[in-house]
Amino acid sequence: MTSPARAGDGFDATIHAPNRLRICALLDTAGEAEFGVVQRQLDVSASVLSKHVTVLMDAGYVEQRKAVRDTRQRVWLTLTPEGRKAYEAHRAALRAIVGE
CB-count burial class (<10 Å; 0-12, 13-18, 19+) for 77: buried
pLDDT tens digits, one per residue of 20-48? 999 999 999 999 999 999 999 999 999 99
Residue 2 vs residues 56, 69, 85, 94, 98: alpha-carbon distances, Å = 29, 49, 22, 11, 8
The whole-model pTM stands at: 0.86
**What residue ranges define each of the domains in the chain, with the CATH number in brackets?**
13-98 (1.10.10.10)
pLDDT tens digits, one per residue of 43-75? 999 999 999 999 999 999 999 999 887 888 999
Nearest in space to 92 (alpha carbons), one of 10, 3, 1, 2: 10
Residue 8 is predicted with a pLDDT of: 53
CB 80 within 8 A of CB 63: yes
